[in-house]
Amino acid sequence: MKIRLAIADDHSYLREGIREILSRTPDIVVQGQASNGAELLALLQNDWFNVVLVDLNMPGLSGPPLIAQLRKKYPATPVVVLSMHNEGPIIAEAMKAGAVGYVTKGSPPEVLIETIRSVACGKKHVDPAVIDSLVFDQGTSGSEAATGTLSPREHQILALIVSGKRVGEIADQLCVSPKTVSAHKAHLMMKLGMKSDAELIRYAIKHDIG
């Protein structure tokens, strides 16, 4: 029996690339595609799948909230995250929300295939390349530990937020898209356990960032 897979990612070229890779496997078929969380939920309402593969950062509903909703509505359908991020706190947050698999976009196709097959059989499977990050990044707790996991770009964006700049202004200054800035901002807020700009600013002031 073939494993029916649904893919949700806002980059069509990536979805098609995965579909092409998996077309060479005898037991996995890409049965549906979505570009965001809302499309994925609509897809699942009208069809059934053995495994759902999701990106963490898509327009609208995405990340842990989307994973939690998928697990609540479709508890028998395992969710695998395919992400560019390999930081322990992000992986842990996704798994806590209900994901049973995690693969980085830089991993070989064999890792993705193995993960899909494993979760379809009821197992959990995390990309071996991020195991150390997941284990050792959880060795400390609180915002002090999370700060050390921020990338240089996230530190830079946090400092610009503290200076009062909006997403569009930050994007112009860094010569990137507003979507990229928003993604970095969402990641650093997740890592620091913050839910608002006010919390970010208070934290940054306390730790002399900016």
- In this structure, are 59 and 122 located in the same domain? yes
Q: Which amino acid is at 2?
A: K
Radius of gyration of the chain (CA): 18
What is the pLDDT confidence band of residue 121, given thresholds at 50, 70 and 90? very high
**What is the rounded average pLDDT of the residues 99-114?**
91
Q: 92 is written with which tokens?
A: 């842990």
Report how many domains make up the chain. 2
CB-CB contact of 17 with 30 (8 Å)? no
Given 111, 136, 161, the domain boundary residue is 136
Given 82, 117, 136, the domain boundary residue is 136
Q: 82 is written with which tokens?
A: 């395919």
Looking at residue 72, what is its pLDDT? 94
- In this structure, are 125 and 177 located in the same domain? no
- In this structure, are 114 and 182 located in the same domain? no
Residues of the chain above pLDDT 90, percent? 45
- CATH number, domain containing residue 200: 1.10.10.10
Residues 163-194 have pLDDT tens digits of 778 888 888 888 878 888 888 888 777 777 77
- In this structure, are 125 and 172 located in the same domain? no
Alpha helices in the chain (DSSP H): 12-22, 37-46, 63-73, 88-97, 109-120, 131-136, 142-147, 152-162, 167-174, 178-192, 197-206
Residues 75-104 have pLDDT tens digits of 999 999 998 888 777 888 888 899 999 998
CA distance 7 to 50: 11
Q: Which amino acid is at 199?
A: E
CB-CB contact of 59 with 36 (8 Å)? yes
Looking at residue 180, what is its pLDDT? 82
- In this structure, are 126 and 159 located in the same domain? no
Residues 12-63 have pLDDT tens digits of 999 999 999 999 999 999 999 999 999 999 999 999 999 999 998 888 888 9
- In this structure, are 28 and 52 located in the same domain? yes
More confident residue, 176 or 137: 176
Q: Which domain holds residue 190?
A: 142-206
pTM, two decimal places: 0.66
- CATH number, domain containing residue 34: 3.40.50.2300
Looking at residue 133, what is its pLDDT? 61
- In this structure, are 132 and 156 located in the same domain? no
Beta-strand relationship, 51-54 and 101-104: unpaired
